[in-house]
Chain A
Amino acid sequence: MNYLLSVLVENKPGVLSRVTGLISRRGFNIESLTVAPTEDSNLSRMTIIVEADEIGFEQITKQLHKLVSVYKISDLTYEDAVERELVLFKVQSAPERRHEIIEIANVFRAKVVDVGKNTLTIEATGAESKLNAMEDLLHAYGIKQLTRTGKIAMARGSAQ
């Protein structure tokens, strides 16, 4: 199954490759990964989705804990967490169909961020299921390009 991890690491060159190298070397696949500095510029937060069984996942977290560059690991898989992902769609759109597409974007509370001669670029955020549903609908018009950020997550409430 897919596990969702939030990992607080040292914001230093090489740390990303320490973390990803460790996961792949132990034989596990990273489904998605995002990384950026936190409110403290010495620290970065990685949100990692990794596919593993229960024992494998326990190994990954224990091994990650051993890295001197890793400060904290939170398993958000079963936590009440806010999860978000951002997607950019570049959709084929002849001028006469623009309205339909904008309509769809509105329903999903997405934004049109660029208009070309024959394309519309739409920015959408949300949970995975919503973004998947939107992608399905837009397929009918022809998606020329799609970029997803990968998931970011945070535990709800005052939990750290």
Chain B
Amino acid sequence: MITVEEKVARRRRAIEGRPLGPGSHTEHEGKTMTGAQAIIASLEAEGVDTIFGYPGGQAIKIYDALYDSKKIHHILARHEQGATHMADGYARATGKVGVVLVTSGPGATNTVTGIATAYMDSVPLVVITGQVTRGVIGTDAFQESDIVGITMPIVKHSFLLQSTDDLTRTFREAFYIASTGRPGPVLIDIPSDLSGSEMVFHYPDTVSIASYRPTYKGNAKQVKQAAALISEARRPLIMAGGGIVSSHACPELTALAERMNIPVVTTLMGKGAMRCSNPLNLGPVGMHGSKYANMAVTECDLLIAVGARFSDRVTGKVDEFAPHARIIHIDIDPAEIGKIVQPSVPIVGDAKSVLAALNERLDKMGATSVCDDWTAEVFSWRKRWPFYTADFADYPDKIAPEVVLSKLSEKLDPEASIVTTEVGQHQMWAHQNIHREHARTFISSGGLGTMGFGFPAAIGAKIGCPDEQVVCVAGDGSFQMNSQEMATAKINGVNVKVLVIDNRALGMVHQWQHLFYHDRFSFTELADNPDFVKLADAYGWRSARITRPEEVDAALDEMLASDEPYLLDVMIPAEQTVYPMVAPGAPIDDIIGALDVTLGGVRVTEKGFGEKGRPRVKPSHEGVDES
């Protein structure tokens, strides 16, 4: 297992422009070789030990060179999209750059969804695509596609290699750009004649790009202003996003929250940024966030957004998002600041260094918490509106997905497990009910919402972190989008688990059709699904199906104990709806279907505190009057 210290050191090294691998200190240095061999040598120089890919005509020379590499382990996916998501899962789990190698034309275009997924969630990837020879580019040659043009809106940067003279520098720049600043995918398109040309291999140990200089350190004046606001706020709230995970800022975040007793809500990408066992962590916010987290946003007077981009799935109606709050927005990407909301204090910088500077400043000021009453009140809301309670069931006698995922959460060792998800209802149930203690242990497609992501990502995560138990929580719709990768897992001995929350429907759209389209279930019913147990069997996986609530515990135990890939098909009612929910475009305190224990555990739909009004809070810490 890679320690947090190692991850921090790696990021520091990346920011300094140095390769994570041996750079110029390899046996390849100074040797004459083909471009293809130089590509593999460049990957070795970058310290890459695992790549994901699929061969083809214009990549055949690179694959031929790969055949000789003793350092690089290649995972053959069954589809280039699968390979790209695997590299993405690998990158999210390890913090390293994920590397993909594919051929031109369809090989390259099949990576597009994977690249867009990584781009939206700021995941570092280097995608190497074979291209037709330079002489025929632009002639509609066999398997030619303008992949640099096609991917332009969804890459952090891309290169069309024009000469072997630029080859090693291009690789160094690609890894540097992918892994620093706000991370993202970088594409290198390599015409196959360059792969065949001879060159002398020299790998650069440094990189300098005049037009690429991310800001890591926050402006001191703005840090000072932010610290002043934080020290005075009576109702502060931290919103933690994926930037905390990218910059390994979890200790600094927790230190700030605990120091000032400030509650924290997390976005989907920010899950794991703070331990779920920390009482200050209120968990998910937004469309399927808890009522207490959403109410905390609505009622707070200071919102400290760190590494979060105010996605519409978090904000709901922007005009009514955090209406009483001043906003401090900390982000490494200046373009995110002011894009959706106008902050009172903008701070451009790396979450880790900015939070450290804030903590230091607060120390210097001798600031102490002035928000204990507020935090206690928010905690009382958490008791009143839990995601789920054991004595509640929407459909008694049927398996409740909340129960399955809570039990999975309890059974997983938080120190040695990773959960990935597909996209849809099951994703939100997983987000709500699975507790995570560490960053990079909950992997989900947030921005793009890519069905078919979670399963290959689980394979990539398991390959990157072989000692962890890796479980993909899937839906029956999503799983079928990349189920062919069961072959990849089996053949490579990748012991992943797939938990299919099976409602024979495209559940999330089905739910919207139920709530907003008068039960007109247009093409969301998957009644003719294949038999997943038999499908698993065909791929040489172990598998089981359960239909009754009393089967859940034993089935989960058996799945987790399996030393081979295992699929568990869990049948839930098709009508099961994810609650609470905020309708698209509605303010996030206008909540459908939150459980209210003060009303005896029923689902209620009301805006804000509803008819009963805001719970009265006694002035000191004596507790909360819920009447």
Annotate B206-246 by CB proximity to A: 1 below 8 A, 0 otherwise: 00011110000000000000000000000000000000000
Interface range, A side = 20 to 34
Instruction: Name the residue on B nearest A70 (C-beta).
Output: B211
Is B177 in contact with chain A by the CB < 8 A criterion? yes
Known contacts A10-B211, A59-B339, A71-B210: A66-B333 contact under CB 8 Å: yes
Is A37 in contact with chain B by the CB < 8 A criterion? no
Q: Which residues from A are CB-within-8-Å of B177?
A: 68
What secondary structure prevails in chain A residues at the interface with B? helix
Instruction: Name the residue on A nearest B342 (C-beta).
Output: A55
Complex CA distance for A14 and B187, rounded to whole angstroms: 14
Is A69 in contact with chain B by the CB < 8 A criterion? yes
Annotate B186-209 by CB proximity to A: 1 below 8 A, 0 otherwise: 000000000000000000000001
Complex CA distance for A13 and B149, rounded to whole angstroms: 11
Complex CA distance for A13 and B153, rounded to whole angstroms: 16
Instruction: Kindly provide the distance from the CB of A28 to the nearest chain B CB, expressed in whole angstroms.
Output: 14
Complex CA distance for A71 and B211, rounded to whole angstroms: 5
Instruction: Kindly provide the distance from the CB of A36 to the nearest chain B CB, expressed in whole angstroms.
Output: 19
Whether A65 lies near B149 (C-beta < 8 A) is no
Whether A58 lies near B160 (C-beta < 8 A) is no
Complex CA distance for A58 and B336, rounded to whole angstroms: 11
Q: Which residues from A are CB-within-8-Å of B334?
A: 62, 65
Known contacts A14-B148, A21-B152, A70-B211: A65-B157 contact under CB 8 Å: no
Instruction: Kindly provide the distance from the CB of B161 to the nearest chain A CB, expressed in whole angstroms.
Output: 12
Instruction: Kindly provide the distance from the CB of B172 to the nearest chain A CB, expressed in whole angstroms.
Output: 13
Q: Which residues from A are CB-within-8-Å of B157?
A: 67-69
Interface range, B side = 10 to 19
Instruction: Kindly provide the distance from the CB of A8 to the nearest chain B CB, expressed in whole angstroms.
Output: 9
Q: Which residues from B are CB-within-8-Å of A14?
A: 148-149, 152, 160
Whether A18 lies near B152 (C-beta < 8 A) is yes
Annotate A39-77 by CB proximity to B: 1 below 8 A, 0 otherwise: 000000000000000010011001101111111000000
Q: Which of B160, B335, B338 contacts A13 (CB 8 A)?
A: B160
Q: Which residues from B are CB-within-8-Å of A67?
A: 157, 211
Whether B152 lies near A17 (C-beta < 8 A) is yes
Complex CA distance for A70 and B334, rounded to whole angstroms: 15
Whether B212 lies near A68 (C-beta < 8 A) is yes
Complex CA distance for A65 and B337, rounded to whole angstroms: 14
Is A117 in contact with chain B by the CB < 8 A criterion? no
Complex CA distance for A62 and B152, rounded to whole angstroms: 17
Whether B212 lies near A55 (C-beta < 8 A) is no
Q: Which residues from A are CB-within-8-Å of B339?
A: 59
Whether A55 lies near B160 (C-beta < 8 A) is no
Interface positions of B (Cβ within 8 A of A): 148-149, 152-153, 156-157, 160, 177, 209-212, 333-335, 338-339
* Extra 18 A-B pairs, beta carbons < 8 Å, given A14-B148, A68-B177, A68-B211: A14-B149, A17-B149, A17-B152, A18-B152, A21-B153, A25-B153, A55-B338, A58-B338, A59-B339, A62-B338, A65-B334, A66-B335, A67-B211, A68-B156, A68-B157, A68-B212, A69-B211, A71-B211
A-B contact pairs, 27 of them (CB 8 A): A10-B211, A14-B148, A14-B149, A14-B152, A14-B160, A17-B152, A18-B152, A21-B153, A22-B153, A25-B153, A55-B338, A58-B338, A59-B338, A62-B334, A62-B335, A62-B338, A63-B335, A65-B334, A66-B335, A68-B177, A68-B209, A68-B211, A68-B212, A69-B157, A69-B211, A70-B211, A71-B210
